[in-house]
Structure 1
Amino acid sequence: MNTYLELLFLFAMAVIGGAVNVTIGGGWFIIFPSLIFRGIQPVQGTATTTIVLLSGFVASSKKIKNTGEISKTHFNYMLSACTLGGILGAVLLIVFSHKVFETIAPFLLLGSWILFTFYNRIFNLFNSDNQLVTSFKCTPVKLISLFVLGIYGGYFGAGMGMLLFILFRFYGIKNNETLERVSLILIAVNNGIAVLIFIWSGLIFWPFALVMTAGSILGGFLGKAWNEKINTLLLKRNAIVYGATVTLYFLDII
């Protein structure tokens, strides 16, 4: 493929991925395969995908002023646990051999696709019967669960936002605005610290990352602007089919 056509292709895929990511989620299924298709190794592709999607996600998000019913002290505990998990996850991606990641990545994709496809059912299944909490308090178990989820976010990260929503809803937070605020900050910091480690380790493929980051940011803004005009049900159905195709490809089934 001609170099200019290659960059145009990646830019276009990043615009689509950024828009999808801020509307229905699942941008990973668009950005990651695009990089692999252009010859990037899976580990480097994961690192590059993280910085591409994070850029569009953060740039198009609203400024967070408070964390709702979660006190600043308890939120700092949560943030610390998720950040430490992100550091460990990023280090594991670097330290483990590429063969290990290439072996488990298809199954992580499969798990992400299942989560994306059946998210509403899973979300309702884990919905706590508790009333809306007025003062969310951290416990060691909650912090450990955030730490483990943070490891996943730093190592792979696809679907982390959905997992955070499910986890916090299970713990009794029913205010969607609080869920969005907390998830946004935790994902930004978790992925952000992972990106810094990836940059330091030289895992980011910058020629593609710069072009796709610009596309992801544009896509994020377009997705936010057109969100109410988009048929999200139809979009998600198409995304499910596309995600299934990508997953089956990486599982060597098709």
Structure 2
Amino acid sequence: MNPLFLLTGAGLLAGAMNALAGGGSFVSLPAMILAGVPPVQANASSTVALFPGGIASAWAYRDGLGPIGTVSLRPLLAITLVGGVIGALLLLWTSPKAFDFVLPWLLLVASLALAFGRRLGERLRRHWRIWPSMVIAVQFALGVYGGYFGGAVGIMMLAVWGLLDSSDIKRLNAPRTLLVSATNAMAVLTFIIAHAVHWPETLLMLFAAIAGGYGGAQIGRRAPAALIRSGTLLLTVCITLAFFVRAYAPTLK
């Protein structure tokens, strides 16, 4: 497939997915790899390409920012920024071969988070409460994961926060969007400084993702939520399976 059409189409779809239900990196990362970008640089470039859409969402949600239970947003933001830098550096220190090996498992974790994260958080909250200090520790780990890979990290945050804060999930969307953008911001800065971004492919996907995000928001106002979620999960599962085959099929022969 022509890389121009591949990256444009992937950017449109990834932007729309992030606007609808999350999981845009499931499309943008494979597209970068198929376009010939090495895996580690593909992940870095994908993060940069989807970053402006996340910032736009964070700005749109700015009026809804508030604490998570009894934990102020400031320490969560600070620890997320630190985690984002560490995760991005870990990615840059990972060899292409090692990243190829671990990538299917990262996609699997993200798929499970998309499928069960919110439900798991609701069930655990009925039987278990966690201390605010534990939330900060887990938030640091999520910041590292977000800087390294980031797939479905926002859903993971909501699942963890649900153990501390019983608020409507819509209220938690504002801090979620801010903290996901924070870890991505540190990753993007680190990747740019390290010259890990393939700019022609990234810029093409970036502008397509902005358009896709706008279109996805319009679709989200009309399409049934169950249909959007089912379509997202089906796509993420198929891509995860494809990467397991890509990584391990040669070994099975």
TM-score (norm 2): 0.88
2:62 to 61, 64, 67: 64
Q: 2: distance between equivalents of 1:143 and 1:63?
A: 22
Partners of 1:60 and 1:217 within 8 A in 2: no
Looking at secondary structure, tell me which structure has more helix per residue: 2
Q: Report the alpha carbon displacement of residue 128 of structure 1 after superposing the two structures with TM.
A: 4.8
Cα deviation, 1:96-136, whole Å, max 9, x if unaligned, reads: 322222211110101111222234432322335699xxxxx
Q: Report the alpha carbon displacement of residue 37 of structure 1 after superposing the two structures with TM.
A: 1.3
Is 1:12 matched with 2:9? yes
Partner of 2:164: 171
Is 1:115 matched with 2:96? no
Partners of 2:80 and 2:183 within 8 A in 1: yes
Distance 1:125 1:87, change over 3 A: same
Partners of 2:26 and 2:239 within 8 A in 1: yes
Partner of 2:187: 194
Q: 2: distance between equivalents of 1:86 and 1:58?
A: 15
Write the letter of the residue equivalent to 1:96. T
Q: 2: distance between equivalents of 1:188 and 1:123?
A: 22
Write the letter of the residue equivalent to 1:100. A
Write the letter of the residue equivalent to 2:230. R
Is 1:140 matched with 2:133? yes
Partner of 2:43: 46
Answer with 62-71 or 87-96: which moved more. 62-71
Matched position secondary structure for 1:170: coil
Partners of 2:57 and 2:177 within 8 A in 1: no
Cα deviation, 1:143-198, whole Å, max 9, x if unaligned, reads: 11111111000000000110011111111241334311111111111110110000
Partner of 1:135: none
Q: 1: distance between equivalents of 2:102 and 2:225?
A: 31
Cα deviation, 1:72-97, whole Å, max 9, x if unaligned, reads: 99221111111111111011111232
Partner of 2:232: 239
TM-score (norm 1): 0.87
Q: Report the alpha carbon displacement of residue 213 of structure 1 after superposing the two structures with TM.
A: 0.5
Distance 1:202 1:250, change over 3 A: same
1:75 to 73, 76, 82: 73
- The aligned runs of 1:20-31 (5 Å cut-off) are 20-31=17-28
Partner of 2:153: 160
Q: 2: distance between equivalents of 1:234 and 1:31?
A: 21
Write the letter of the residue equivalent to 1:121. R
Answer with 218-227 or 179-188: which moved more. 218-227
Write the letter of the residue equivalent to 1:6. P
Q: 2: distance between equivalents of 1:71 and 1:184?
A: 17
Answer with 9-18 or 187-196: which moved more. 9-18
Is 1:89 matched with 2:90? no
Partners of 1:35 and 1:45 within 8 A in 2: yes
**Structure 2: stretches of 5+ with no match in the other structure:** none
In the comparison of the two structures, how many residue pairs are matched? 246
Q: 1: distance between equivalents of 2:106 and 2:69?
A: 33
Is 1:224 matched with 2:217? yes
Partners of 2:118 and 2:158 within 8 A in 1: no
Q: 2: distance between equivalents of 1:120 and 1:140?
A: 21
